Amino acid sequence: MKKQMITIDGNEAAAMVAHKVNEVIAIYPITPSSAMGEWADQWSADGKPNIWGAVPSVVEMQSEGGAAGAVHGALQTGALTTTFTASQGLLLMIPNMYKIAGELTATVFHIAARSIAAQGLSIFGDHSDVMATRQTGFALLASNNVQEVHDFALIASAATLKARVPFLHFFDGFRTSHEVNKIEPLDDAVLRAMMNDELIRQHRARGLTPDAPVMRGTAQNPDVYFQARESVNLFYQACPAIVQQTMDEFAQLTGRQYRLYEYEGHPEAERVIVIMGSGAETVAETAVHLSQPGERVGVLKVRLYRPFDVASFVTALPSTTKAIAVLDRTKEPGSSGEPLYLDVVSAMVEKWSGSLPKIIGGRYGLSSKEFTPGMVKAIYDELAKDKPKNHFTIGINDDLTHTSLPWDKTFSIEPDGTVRAVFYGLGSDGTVGANKNSIKIIGEETDNHAQGYFVYDSKKSGAVTVSHLRFGKNPIRAPYLIESANFVGVHQLSFLERYDVARLAAPGAVLLLNSPFGPDEVWDTLPGSLQEAIIEKKLKFYVVDGYEVAKETGMGRRINTIMQVCFFAISGVLPTDEAIAAIKHAIEKSYGKRGQAVVKQNFAAVDAALAHLHQVNVPEKVTSTWERPSIVPAIAPEFVQSVTARIIEGLGDDLPVSALPNDGTYPTGTTQWEKRNIATEIPVWDPEICIQCGKCALVCPHQVIRLKVYDNALLANAPESFKSTPARFKEWKEMAYTLQVSPEDCTGCSLCVDVCPVKNKQQPKFKAINMNPVDGLRAAERENWNFFKTLPEIDRTQIPLHQIKYNQLLTPLFEFSGACEGCGETPYLGLLTRLFGDRTVVANATGCSSIYGGNLPTTPWTQNGDGRGPAWSNSLFEDNAEFGLGMRVALDQRLDAATHLLREHRDLIGTDLVEDILFADQIEEADINAQRARIAQLKIRLQELLAMGNDQLPNYQLPITNLLSMADIFVKKSVWIVGGDGWAYDIGYGGLDHVLASGRNVNVLVLDTEVYSNTGGQMSKATPRGAVAKFAAAGKPMPKKDLAMLAVSYGNIYVARVAFGAKDTQTVNAFLEAEAYDGPSLIIAYSHCIAHGYDLKFGLQQQNMAVSSGYWPLFRFNPDLAVEGKNPFQLDSQAPKTSLEEYIYREGRYRILQQSNPEAAARLLEQAKGDVQARWNSYAKLANGNK
Amino acid sequence: MDLSTTYLGLKLKNPLVPSSSPLMRTLGNLRQMEDAGAAAVVLHSLFEEQVRLESHTLNEYLTHGTESYAEALSYFPDAPEYQTGPEEYLEHIRRAKESLDIPVIASLNGVSSGWWMQFARDIEQAGADALELNIYYVPTDVEMSSQDVEQLYLDALSVVKTAVTIPVTMKLSPYFSAMGHMAKRLADGGANGLVLFNRFYQPDLDLEELEVVPNLKLSSSVELRLPLRWIAILYGRVPLDLALTTGVHTVMDVLKGVAAGASITMLASELLANGIPRLMVLRSGIESWLIDHEYASLSQLQGSMSQINCAEPAAFERANYMRVLSSFTPPFLRYATAYGLAG
């Protein structure tokens, strides 16, 4: 019988088994493991049972530490229990892992192994996290590919029950967790056969029960702890044999035989690489390739890393081995070698008979760095040397300490029979979804094997995706990107300006371009270098007007199925008719439950696609006269030119070690150099009717709308199309005013148009700012923008900060971020930096804001003309409040130290100046400006004193030098602790509570999107009742936590709940009051979000509805008012006047529940209405002084 | 008093039929209507655009922003099934049929015919006794001729008639150049009845906000005149059962409608304004009036004042218009005459 095969990714492969063989699953989202928890939650929500017929209980916790605690508890009570995590999440589980292992408890943690944040965070794969747990007592079992992930998930689950040693089953984050591959699924019968009922009963019997009470978890003393610790040895000694035995049983059932340490390659190899994880696949394929012509090379794949079975390991090596290279996908700075290397060395020393082979260790693949056959060959070549380099690195150019091995980048072992296709697309055009679909079609509808891997952007808006697809008759074991493609699909014309799209095309490959230009016109629209590549590589060039087809069939910007049809038609992997039938079948499968309207629309697109596909007759000569523009302009700073630009260009892999900062410190203000040009429409200002209110600038999520008031004379040099109008400000009646848009940084969200209060009287469809196609505007507006930047900034001291009309004339020190189009968070950061950016330190919790704010290559946090601006740092997800508090304490401490020095040298410096500095009242901008002037004076004075030298001024050099180094601290510094609700309500809540209770002068800004937005919309305690989120597929049953009122209960914390889209003046006042309050303050900011499920151009309307329905009452609680004898609680919004339904059912997160479970939606709606009313009543009472 | 009437082949106990309004959405209201004497119910409409929109918006919710950023490849869990189509509506029909003894007429609202075959079949299978097609269409396209508009109606009817065996009635707008001929063509196309007329909600203009605003106002008895006239004209001329809708508020409105030729009169605004129990008042009022005026049954009244039966058939035509004009002096003319400024 033909084996049933499925095409899935590593996370699903692990989760499928884990959900079937467990009873309790405790989860918490973290990339790249989140999908395992999401699958488990969804299956349980759908009522899918485990192999014993019960639906596993899936519980989301507040952190990975919490998940580990819940796992520990469930295990101690006898349930089969699992969890999924990665990276910092795994580190947070470590304390419980010791406990679980120490108590000899059977469990499996499934880990998508990921880098640990060090000099920078990385979401990508390596073994740093797993290696940090090797001392916990968990067994560590490595899977190298998607099939193994599926199989080892079961083998680990079966083995742990017998061994009573807990297992950490890990595979490479992204490379394996996200690779789609064709695998043979495990039948339930196999699962039942492997999961021994008697062992499960024993596991359950060990659980705590008052019917047979015991205690576990005693405190032990010097007399017995040591002995007790050694009491587990027999279990660890037995464990490897148990795992092998389990693997053998598994082989009996499935035919797939695995070994603890598995050798592959030449039977009499002399040079052997030892490795674990997906890289082992690359080494194995390369070893086989090299050994065919007779090279004596091989690979020893380590599957069971802990307990490390020395005897089995040594036995698995060919006796002919003369040189070994051990590869670690981690770095242990300062060690004598990385962990696997050290284990191998000790194993060989202890057990190898005969002369010891040469053993070298090397690091590779950190943070999913590519690991290719060329690199493997370089290592084998190195092993052949008399004195091979030890402690080497491969895959990078270490020009600093010269650890790296060179490798041949052109070396390829890809078999001829494997078709390799690369697609460049946008996230929004559906390219990745279509390719995942294609992989499934090829994998499941043909005899071919298939593999898909997808590379995503570091930006959330206008994100570029690159899909790598392989398929062929043989299994595909190539966990690295395609370097030589038979097919290159370019799904966006604009990519021709940004990327060398033919770089990956093999000679004779197909190049398919989505372009509005037909087969006769398209040639002349290509850049010269691309024309040259097409001619030289003899590429078969096709063109399709995908957007025309999409327009005809109502698909909008989604060209996915259209391009998919073209790919199948050209590649010939299936006869075209069969391919189209398969695509339609896939569409029905994917979209059928979403309604026939969607299915029919996609069918129409499929049917219309081929009529628009044309092969282009390639001319013999290059005719184009244009080239891709340089990545950044020549005026950009040197670092941006030499480093940032390379990363933007996609060539960051080529940067040598010396090019990168060694302590993770990067310059700010770099997004200005990365012109992404992602908007198809940009706002155009109508100066005739504009009332200069500033609202458009306030709401702009990417801070691309700027306002200036300036002297009319400056217009003399203005570009022809530069717009200007008399300023409508009472102070500056004689001056000019301009609203300028940065055309190349705008994302086209149109929030500015929505908020504009002015309508054109002749044609009310037009406002004072209107969206227009960017084509035809870009060049002129670029010139206008550049001129606008030369106009002088307004004097901050002249600005009444509480008025939006005025404060929006200030330059935001946060601009052009990578946030989503229409983001609801970033306008708050724009406002924050306009008001206080030049004297602010930001502690940023990990999450969306740390990603659009801190993900390389560029950062939106920037500086003003004086070089001042926010100083920003991200520590972790869970510790952000504490991190910010530390900053405050340090700044206060420095102020104390500097004050002490200043006082001590008062006479020397000058009494008047010192007293003016010490008693400066830094409340208004003018005060701060005056203080800055005094500090400048102080520095001059200190320099003068230093210039006198030790002779004239003995014993003062040191204190004066110290004071000079600290002088800037006398200008008031503002600490802002910024993060999302996942941090503030969940993982960081304990710390936040503590920091707020500390009484210190910190400002906390919670950007409340009501879900974990950055990891894809998982439920947090901020999620409202009745909303669907991941981990709340059936709608959140419990109400949102009222974080604001928890803080109010302290009495001495400034608290505000704001929504700039509903009442912008209240938002501004809250920011000003919070910053002015000499104590802790907390602002909870409604942030509309892509995870709410609607087009964010309606974000402001939704904010308004949230407030008018009473869902999000606006208030400020100012303890300073209480001191004045006033009611500190001010309600800033009115009693609910629109219904909750009107608000919530405009959003997907609520509508999805209505459509999937109307009864639950109706019930939760009623409860949510009760929540709203109860909250309003209690707030109103407070506002009335509890009357 | 026998108040029974026949509509679309359904024997009804009286001519009072609550029609499409938000009241029809709950089973409790439907039961109350039956208890108050409703002879049948026309459910609220299943909107074709709504069904399409539900499907597209759900798809948009589930795909927007997906597969773009490595940490968030999607934003929502995907449920095993969704009610994007007519499921909720069909369930409502099923439950209404289970709960009520009176006929349940379903209503399908839209403009195109592409989807209707399946919807109509589903509605029939759900147990509806008849189907009302409500073609709510405002032909704003200046390239579209009156023939094109008429064909739209005929095509929709044709599609539905091939799909179902239950009676089908067409709810029309009054904006046809040749209403009589249109009615005949619909009869030829297989329609079993006409519902006259659809009430287009006319938007208002807000000059403060410079916005066009939807303006939902309840009808009044004054609006009875237009359907009354056309029912009177069509009665006996086309082989169709006629239902009068728009402007039915009082006992006299109902009686006039029946007298003009309507088999039934439909109520929506009246019940929204004065509650479902109003049906009881109307029913007893009709009975009293018929008794007082010595009618043997309601059927004796039906069509008695139609154009073919009434004493002054011309009154429904242009002559009627002329007479109204000549007997009515606008206020400004009265003012002018009094001061000797005119005539």
Q: Cβ–Cβ of A457/B69 closer than 8 Å?
A: yes
Q: A137 in the Ramachandran plot: left (φ > 0), alpha (ψ -120 to 50) or beta? A: left
Q: Cβ–Cβ of B55/A1091 closer than 8 Å?
A: no
A764 lies within 8 A of chain B by CB? yes
State yes or no: pLDDT of B303 exceeds 50.
yes
What whole-number distance in Å separates Cα of residue A1062 and Cα of residue A1090? Answer: 18
H/E element, B239: none
Which ranges of B135-268 does DSSP label H, i.e. alpha helix?
Answer: 146-163, 179-188, 225-234, 251-260
Tell me the pLDDT tens digit for each residue of A397-453. Answer: 999 999 999 999 999 999 988 999 999 999 888 999 999 999 999 998 889 999 999
Q: What is the mean pLDDT of residues A632-640?
A: 95
Tell me the pLDDT tens digit for each residue of B163-190. Answer: 999 999 999 999 999 999 999 999 999 9
Radius of gyration, alpha carbons of chain B: 23
State yes or no: pLDDT of B324 exceeds 60.
no
Catalytic positions of A are: 31, 64, 114, 1014
B288 lies within 8 A of chain A by CB? no
What whole-number distance in Å separates Cα of residue A1033 and Cα of residue B303? Answer: 58
State yes or no: pLDDT of A1142 exceeds 90.
yes
Tell me the pLDDT tens digit for each residue of A309-334. Answer: 999 999 999 999 999 999 999 999 99
pLDDT at B341: 41
Measured between beta carbons, which residues in chain B are less than 8 angstroms from residue A1158?
A: 83, 88
Tell me the pLDDT tens digit for each residue of B112-143. Answer: 666 778 889 999 999 999 999 998 788 899 99
- Is the dihedral angle over the CA atoms B297, B300, B305, B306 positive or is it negative? positive
Those of residues 90-119 in B touching chain A at CB distance below 8 A are 115, 118
Q: How far is B87 from chain A (nearest CA, A)?
A: 10
Token pair, residue A280, equals 């082992």
Measured between beta carbons, which residues in chain A are less than 8 angstroms from residue B213?
A: none
Question: What dihedral angle (degrees, nearest 10) is formed by the CA atoms of A454, A459, A461, A466?
Answer: -20
pLDDT at A1: 55
B340 lies within 8 A of chain A by CB? no
Tell me the pLDDT tens digit for each residue of B261-300. Answer: 999 999 999 999 999 999 999 999 999 999 999 999 999 9
Q: Cβ–Cβ of A598/B59 closer than 8 Å?
A: yes
Q: CA angle A998-A1002-A1004, nearest 5°?
A: 105
Tell me the pLDDT tens digit for each residue of B11-59. Answer: 999 999 999 888 999 999 999 999 999 999 999 998 888 888 888 888 9
pLDDT at A498: 86
Q: How far is A456 from chain B (nearest CA, A)?
A: 5
Measured between beta carbons, which residues in chain B are less than 8 angstroms from residue A594?
A: 55, 58-59, 62, 82, 84
CB-CB contact of B199 with B246 (8 Å): yes
pLDDT band at A770 (very low <50, low <70, confident <90, very high): very high
Please name the member of A38, A1029, A1156 whose beta carbon is closest to the beta carbon of B81: A1156
Question: Which percentage of chain A shows pLDDT scores above 90?
Answer: 93
pLDDT at B57: 87
3-state secondary structure A733-768: CCCEEEEEECCCCCCCCCHHHHHCCCECCCCCCCEC
Closest by alpha carbon to A397, among A568, A623, A646?
A646
Measured between beta carbons, which residues in chain B are less than 8 angstroms from residue A596?
A: 55, 85, 115, 118
Give Dmax over CA atoms of chain A in angstroms: 99
Burial tier of A558 (Cβ tally within 10 Å: 0-12, 13-18, 19+) = buried
pLDDT band at B319 (very low <50, low <70, confident <90, very high): low
Q: What is the mean pLDDT of residues A845-849?
A: 97
Measured between beta carbons, which residues in chain B are less than 8 angstroms from residue A178?
A: 70
Closest by alpha carbon to A198, among A106, A101, A275, A122?
A106
Buried residues in A140-150 as b, exposed as e (16+ CB within 10 A): bbbbbbbbbbb
State yes or no: pLDDT of A2 exceeds 90.
no
Q: Cβ–Cβ of A598/B71 closer than 8 Å?
A: no
What whole-number distance in Å separates Cα of residue A105 and Cα of residue A720? Answer: 76
Q: Note the residue count of chain B.
A: 343
State yes or no: pLDDT of A725 exceeds 90.
yes
Amino acid at A335: S
State yes or no: pLDDT of A223 exceeds 60.
yes
Mutate to test the interface with A, among B67, B112, B209 (most CBs of A within 10 A): B67
Which residues, 6+ apart, have CB-to-CB distance to A137 below 8 Å? A97, A98, A101, A102, A165, A166, A232, A236
pTM over cut 0.80:
yes
Q: Cβ–Cβ of B79/A1152 closer than 8 Å?
A: yes
3-state secondary structure A938-969: HHHHHHHHHHCHHHHCCCCHHHHHHHHHHHHH
What whole-number distance in Å separates Cα of residue A707 and Cα of residue A710? Answer: 10
pLDDT at A364: 98
What whole-number distance in Å separates Cα of residue A833 and Cα of residue A828? Answer: 9
What whole-number distance in Å separates Cα of residue A323 and Cα of residue A271? Answer: 5
pLDDT at A973: 97
Q: What is the mean pLDDT of residues B238-261?
A: 97
Q: What is the mean pLDDT of residues A931-952?
A: 95
B55 lies within 8 A of chain A by CB? yes
Q: Tell me if residue A290 falls in helix, strand or coil.
A: helix
Q: Are strands A304-306 and A139-142 parallel, antiparallel or unpaired?
A: antiparallel
Beta strands in chain B (DSSP E): 5-7, 10-12, 16-18, 41-47, 104-110, 130-135, 168-172, 193-196, 204-206, 211-213, 241-244, 264-267
CB-CB contact of A819 with A1089 (8 Å): no
Tell me the pLDDT tens digit for each residue of A37-70. Answer: 999 999 999 999 999 999 999 999 999 999 999 9
Those of residues 812-871 in A touching chain B at CB distance below 8 A are 820, 851
Which ranges of A195-316 does DSSP label H, i.e. alpha helix?
Answer: 197-205, 225-230, 233-254, 279-291, 310-316
pLDDT at B340: 42
Q: Are strands A271-275 and A323-328 parallel, antiparallel or unpaired?
A: parallel
pLDDT at A457: 87
What whole-number distance in Å separates Cα of residue A291 and Cα of residue A738? Answer: 71
Which residues, 6+ apart, have CB-to-CB distance to B15 below 8 Å? B3, B5, B39, B254, B257, B258, B262, B263, B264, B265, B286, B298
H/E element, A809: none
CB-CB contact of A742 with A676 (8 Å): no
Measured between beta carbons, which residues in chain B are less than 8 angstroms from residue A598?
A: 55-56, 58-59
- Is the dihedral angle over the CA atoms A395, A398, A399, A401 positive or is it negative? negative
Tell me the pLDDT tens digit for each residue of A873-920. Answer: 999 999 999 999 999 999 999 999 999 999 999 999 999 999 999 999
H/E element, A38: helix A34-45
Q: Cβ–Cβ of B65/A123 closer than 8 Å?
A: no
Q: A287 in the Ramachandran plot: left (φ > 0), alpha (ψ -120 to 50) or beta? A: alpha
pLDDT band at A92 (very low <50, low <70, confident <90, very high): very high
What whole-number distance in Å separates Cα of residue A397 and Cα of residue A40? Answer: 41
Q: Cβ–Cβ of A430/B67 closer than 8 Å?
A: yes
Q: Cβ–Cβ of B71/A1014 closer than 8 Å?
A: yes
pLDDT at B330: 47
State yes or no: pLDDT of B215 exceeds 80.
no
Q: CA angle A1013-A1111-A1177, nearest 5°?
A: 140
Q: Cβ–Cβ of B84/A594 closer than 8 Å?
A: yes
